[in-house]
Amino acid sequence: MEFSNSVKLARTDTGLEYFDVKSPLCQAKIFLQGAQITEFIPTGKNDLMWVSADEDYQEGKSVRGGIPICWPWFGVHDNADWPAHGFARKIVWRAEQVTETSDAVRISLSLPMMQVDRQFWPHESKLEVEFILGEQLEVRLTNTNLGQTPFSLTQALHTYFPTSDIKNTTVDGLQGAKYIEFGEGPFEQSDKVGFARETDMVYTQAAPVQCIHTPEGVIEVGRENSTSCVLWNPWIEKSKRLSNFQNEEYLGMLCLEAANVLEDTVTVEPGQSHTLVTTVCWR
């Protein structure tokens, strides 16, 4: 099924549907399950998304890579029986709109609230995501309160980035931010961040732009309506325990996630909306 000159709906061998984008400016893949982008290749440049070579694209399971949407909570819920990182990344979203102009392809999807278990999310709300695919990638996740009472949530756009060598990769732009790691802190980030061990830093008071320096070039990551972000690499031992993740793949990836967590938790008043935005590009 074609939606525009550059966009068609395709399907994996396992049956998962995705938007296959091939425009003059970029190519991309966006799965309806989880509204998850797994590929974004600006024309003439390398892919900005990382996906595990062990990924098998199964129904009901988030893809290990790209940008999983963690919603309406990030991490482990206080109720240990509830799914980690919420449930939005495992539900098939509804395609709402596909438009194409000379400078971008825009694809919008919404989470079908009829499929949401109300024990997890009893609020009257709407959740939409828009992907703006041009020379850079912009992802806009919008929560709208349709009810009569405020609700609060945490969330993240859990972006996996590629590098050819994590040991020669650094992240700049987090200096001055506070972070918690493995339940300890807060500490203040004083320098660029390098990688020599398992990294799981949850930052607050973070600047709106960070740069990932890789052997292939510099990836610029921006955020709007977010002062928190997460930096993650599982390193050696955790890699052995992860599903759909090869033991050595920690050497070729990292996550830098736009988020609303900790003191940056979002409260949406009745009739109001909040949009978490991330932009990524080769600089």
**CA separation for the pair 156, 171 (Å, rounded):** 18
Of all residues in the chain, what percent carry a pLDDT higher than 90? 92
Torsion of the alpha carbons at 118, 119, 121 and 123, rounded to the nearest 10: 60
Distance of CA 115 to the CA centre of its chain: 21
**CA separation for the pair 213, 283 (Å, rounded):** 10
Q: What is the pLDDT of residue 2?
A: 60
Q: What is the pLDDT of residue 128?
A: 98
Taking the CB of residue 246, how many other CB atoms lie within 10 A of it? 15
CA distances from 191 to 172, 176, 209, 260 (A): 8, 8, 15, 23
Q: Using CA of residue 103, residue 94, residue 62, residue 255, what is the dihedral sign?
A: positive
Q: Which segments of the chain have a pLDDT < 70?
A: 1-2
**CA separation for the pair 30, 37 (Å, rounded):** 4
Output b/e per residue, 68-94; b: 16+ Cβ within 10 A.
Answer: bbbbbbbeebeeeeebebbbbbbbbbe
Report domain 2-282's class.
mainly beta
How far apart are the two ends of the chain, measured CA to CA in Å? 34
Nearest to 253 by CA among 270, 232, 225, 279: 232
Structure tokens at 179: 């972070």
DSSP 125-141: EEEEEEEEESSSEEEEE
| Strand duo 199-204 + 217-224: pairing | unpaired
Check if the beta carbon of residue 210 is closer than 8 Å to that of residue 180.
no
pTM of the complete model: 0.96
Q: What is the pLDDT of residue 90?
A: 93
CA distances from 108 to 17, 133, 140, 175, 212 (A): 15, 11, 9, 34, 28
Taking the CB of residue 188, how many other CB atoms lie within 10 A of it? 12
Q: What is the pLDDT of residue 50?
A: 98
